A and B are shown apart, each in its own frame.
Chain A
Amino acid sequence: ISRPLCATRLAYHLPCNSWNSCFCGSDLETQLAAARKKASDALPGSSWSPFEANPNLPPERADIVIVGGGVVGWSIAYWLKQKERVREGVRVLVVEKDLTYSQASTVLSAGGIRQQFSLPENIHLSLASAHFMRNINEHLGVLNEDPVDLQFNHSGYLFLATEKAAHIMEENYSTQRKAGAEVSLLSPDQLRGKFPWINTDGVALASYGLQNEGWFDPWTLLNAFRRKAISMGAIQCCGEVTDFKYTTKRILTSNGDEMDLRRIKSVKVQLPGSLQYQPVECAIVVNAAGASSARLTEMLGVGYGGDAAGTQLPVEPRKRYVYVVHCPDGPGLDTPFVIDYSGVYFRREGLGGNYIAGTSPEEGEEPDASNLEVDHQFFEDKVWPSLAHRVPAFEKLKVTSAWAGFYDYNTFDQNAIIGTHPLVTNMYFATGFSGHGLQHAPAAGRSVAELILDGNFTTLDLSGLDFRRILAREPMLERNIV
């Protein structure tokens, strides 16, 4: 006997002896709908599964895995998504171990950008990044969201040089002008005229940036890149890369040496504070891990054995302190980012008479890089005397706050390493910026994306920053490191 159901369009044939007196109209409807859903879930082709999966796990397969979610990592993710020719052409996964960014170099940096370098590649990277930030809403604006406001202060950088270093500064000046940077040289008299609060004792020459130099908010830039990349389909994962699965091929070089060529097959991403992990099969891995980049190459087994295979990634974390001082009689709105020849730097912060100051320690006196504790004695011993000597108003100041951050310091030649490793065919490096990662991030991200998707550099030629120079022991020294 069949009983038609009035609630649905079709009639179902049901044996009435099993469904007798218990149901009235609407109850029967909902329960039948639930039964229908259960039945369709149980059949193959539905997305229901009896096992609960952790939604925070990364996908099982990705085309490109970017290890490191700082400004360089997200810049690469953005440019990869920008350059893909079809929608969802590349699946990009960005793995970041700490989403609060408590130890990330990006957010702890002083946020300056300058073109006053000695290496033309660095000047071009900074200039391209400045042009990117000029039109940042064109690049990183998302529909219906607030426009990006970097809070860029266009106050320029001021480098001071002694008699002995003046010729280096002049050489650098001509390199910078040739590359297109707007820089001007000042004599001590002109310096005093422009900045009356400076004490020009010992200064023979000064170099002042007129355009495209200053400082901005790094957190805003990081979030702008992240928001735009995610809106274009990049996937973010909170986890740590703990292992690689790779295949090894033994090859013979022209000298007759045997080398191990490695190819990464999958990345093991471990969730924070848990034993759960996900092996992500990938085609390309980008090492944008900043201060902890060397840990990744160690996992690959690169750096042991003889000769070229024995070259480790020469990037290590170096701790740098930043002190916030308050000086009500200090220099005014026009204070540039001043860098003294002794290495001490300071810049204005806000409008309330606050300044940010710091210096790089000597080579032999590097502080312990295992934590981010601040040494306040360092300020009194190394920073304050030079500050007070250079700007007499800084005799009376008060340290209101301080923090420490890591430089991903390239111990070989303090310049970025951008490119593949000769022995690991599918790992791309974008690390070792030694304090310039933030200001080079937009342009370096674009170059790495070109390298991955186009096969070679198209806009900027950064082949000089390849890993080969480390194997060949030919350093590309940058003379203007702060």
Chain B
Amino acid sequence: MSAAFMSLRRCCQRSALLAVAKRPWSSSPAPSPPLHTRFLLFLAQRFYDVEMLLSWGHRQKRMAIHRRNAYYGYTKNLYGADIAAAFYVLSLKGGFRYVGQSEWFRADRRGKFNWDFLNHKDTLLEEVNMSHTVINSGGLGNLEGQTSLRTLSLRGCPEVDDWFLAGLHVFQDSLKELDISHCPRITVGGLAALRNLKGLRRLDVSSLPKVSSPGLVVLLLEEMLPQCQIVATGYDHSLGQFGGGEVEGQREVREATDCVRKEGVL
């Protein structure tokens, strides 16, 4: 009897040690899972490492955009603020036109540009086209001294957000045309900041995905900027679920002085 109890006690002790130290899936009799499943299980065990690597990757991308929009202080000290602004525009693959000149200086798709713009020292920029570039509110600091800026085109810029629009107040006297269509981060809160641009005559707010009630927003914008012509295409104004009649999908360009409306909004 005592021998039986001794062996029972021994087996319980041994099994206790093994139960504590055992790995969960290595005791199963099933064949080991395929390679991709084993790899995913390996990654799942190292959750914090994977999280760190992914957030590091995101941070590197953000830092890269930040570096491209850095302050061109060195160029400014050597060549002056206007050349620095021009160089900044070209480095981001945009284009610009000087005051009094008719030719545009642009960078091509690969980022190469003509260095002739250096010949025009101390000439302000009149028109700047930064469509589809990564300009952000930090980069706007490079364009700050341009008091003759008349046209700014920011079509499809992924980093232009409400804070950028609030920063445009530095151009409040000179800016006449602004194109912020297709910018994915602009909302109504930023559009309210455009009220400071008292010289604005043409504003393009087409296809802004984050603006939720575009018809109402365009009406409010027109009220806010009475001398400005507002272009807002690319919105679907249909009433859909409410059962009202289908209306035109396109909004037409309207003149501010023309009171007659040319669309079919109910």
Q: Which residues of A contact B (CB under 8 A)?
A: 8-10, 12-15, 17-18, 35-37, 39-40, 43, 45-46, 87, 134, 138, 143, 151-156, 182, 194, 210-212, 214, 332-334, 351
Query: A36 near B15 (CB under 8 angstroms)?
Result: yes
Q: Which residue of B lies closest to A37 (CB)?
A: B19
20 contacts between A and B (CB under 8 A): A35-B12, A36-B15, A39-B16, A40-B19, A134-B137, A143-B51, A152-B163, A152-B189, A154-B163, A154-B192, A155-B193, A155-B195, A156-B193, A194-B195, A211-B167, A212-B166, A333-B191, A333-B223, A333-B224, A351-B213
CB contacts (< 8 Å) of A211 on chain B: these are 166-167, 169
* Count of interface residues, chain B, beta-carbon cutoff 8 Å: 43
Given A12-B15, A43-B16, A138-B62, answer yes or no on A153-B7 (Cβ-Cβ < 8 Å). no
Question: Closest CB-CB distance, A339 to chain B, in whole Å?
Answer: 18
Q: List CB contacts (< 8 Å) of B8-61 with chain A.
A: 8, 10-12, 14-16, 18-20, 27, 48, 51, 54-55, 58
Does B221 make an interface contact (CB < 8 A)? yes
Interface of A, helix, strand, loop or mixed by DSSP: loop
Query: B162 near A333 (CB under 8 angstroms)?
Result: no
Query: A13 near B7 (CB under 8 angstroms)?
Result: yes
Question: Closest CB-CB distance, A184 to chain B, in whole Å?
Answer: 9
Query: A155 near B16 (CB under 8 angstroms)?
Result: no
Question: Closest CB-CB distance, A176 to chain B, in whole Å?
Answer: 15
Query: A152 near B162 (CB under 8 angstroms)?
Result: yes
CB contacts (< 8 Å) of A155 on chain B: these are 189, 192-193, 195
Given A154-B162, A333-B195, A333-B224, answer yes or no on A351-B216 (Cβ-Cβ < 8 Å). yes
Query: A154 near B16 (CB under 8 angstroms)?
Result: no
Query: A154 near B12 (CB under 8 angstroms)?
Result: no
Query: B169 near A14 (CB under 8 angstroms)?
Result: no
Given A143-B55, A151-B187, answer yes or no on A334-B19 (Cβ-Cβ < 8 Å). no
Question: Closest CB-CB distance, A122 to chain B, in whole Å?
Answer: 21
Q: Which residue of A lies closest to B48 (CB)?
A: A87
CB contacts (< 8 Å) of B99 on chain A: these are none
Fill in one digit per residue for B161-196: 1 if any A CB lies within 8 Å of its CB, else 0: 011011101000000000000000001111111011
Q: Which residues of B contact A (CB under 8 A)?
A: 4, 7-8, 10-12, 14-16, 18-20, 27, 48, 51, 54-55, 58, 62, 137, 162-163, 165-167, 169, 187-193, 195-196, 198, 213, 216-217, 220-221, 223-224
Query: B163 near A46 (CB under 8 angstroms)?
Result: no
CB contacts (< 8 Å) of A35 on chain B: these are 12
Bound Cα distance A333, B137 (Å): 23
Query: A36 near B162 (CB under 8 angstroms)?
Result: no
Bound Cα distance A351, B51 (Å): 40
CB contacts (< 8 Å) of A153 on chain B: these are 188-189, 192
Given A9-B27, A333-B191, answer yes or no on A36-B163 (Cβ-Cβ < 8 Å). no
Of the candidates A13, A18, A36, A154, which one forms a contact with B165 in the assembled complex, judged by CB atoms under 8 Å apart? A154
CB contacts (< 8 Å) of B18 on chain A: these are 10
Query: A40 near B188 (CB under 8 angstroms)?
Result: no
Bound Cα distance A212, B163 (Å): 8
Given A46-B20, A143-B54, A154-B190, answer yes or no on A14-B223 (Cβ-Cβ < 8 Å). no
CB contacts (< 8 Å) of A156 on chain B: these are 193
Query: B16 near A334 (CB under 8 angstroms)?
Result: no
CB contacts (< 8 Å) of A45 on chain B: these are 20
Query: B169 near A36 (CB under 8 angstroms)?
Result: no
Q: Which residue of A lies closest to B168 (CB)?
A: A211
Bound Cα distance A138, B163 (Å): 15
Bound Cα distance A182, B137 (Å): 15
Query: A333 near B15 (CB under 8 angstroms)?
Result: no
Knowing that A43-B16, A153-B189 are A-B contacts, what are 20 other residue pairs whose CB atoms are under 8 Å apart, sorted by A's residue number? A12-B11, A14-B8, A15-B4, A15-B8, A17-B4, A40-B16, A40-B19, A40-B20, A138-B62, A151-B189, A152-B162, A152-B189, A154-B166, A154-B189, A211-B167, A214-B166, A333-B188, A333-B195, A334-B192, A351-B188
Of the candidates B14, B54, B162, B224, which one forms a contact with A332 in the assembled complex, judged by CB atoms under 8 Å apart? B224
Question: Closest CB-CB distance, B248 to chain A, in whole Å?
Answer: 22
CB contacts (< 8 Å) of A87 on chain B: these are 48
Bound Cα distance A15, B10 (Å): 12
Q: Which residue of A lies closest to B221 (CB)?
A: A333
Question: Closest CB-CB distance, A76 to chain B, in whole Å?
Answer: 22
Of the candidates B4, B62, B224, which one forms a contact with A334 in the assembled complex, judged by CB atoms under 8 Å apart? B224
CB contacts (< 8 Å) of B188 on chain A: these are 153, 333, 351
CB contacts (< 8 Å) of B27 on chain A: these are 8-9
Bound Cα distance A234, B189 (Å): 32
Of the candidates B4, B11, B163, B169, which one forms a contact with A210 in the assembled complex, judged by CB atoms under 8 Å apart? B169
Given A37-B19, A211-B167, A211-B169, answer yes or no on A13-B192 (Cβ-Cβ < 8 Å). no
Question: Closest CB-CB distance, A216 to chain B, in whole Å?
Answer: 8
Instruction: Determine which residue in A37, A153, A214 has the highest number of CB atoms from chain B within 10 A of its CB, and name it.
Output: A153
Q: Which residue of B lies closest to A12 (CB)?
A: B11
CB contacts (< 8 Å) of A17 on chain B: these are 4
Query: B217 near A182 (CB under 8 angstroms)?
Result: no
CB contacts (< 8 Å) of A214 on chain B: these are 166, 189
Q: Which residue of B lies closest to A149 (CB)?
A: B187
Q: Which residue of A lies closest to B9 (CB)?
A: A39
Query: A15 near B7 (CB under 8 angstroms)?
Result: yes
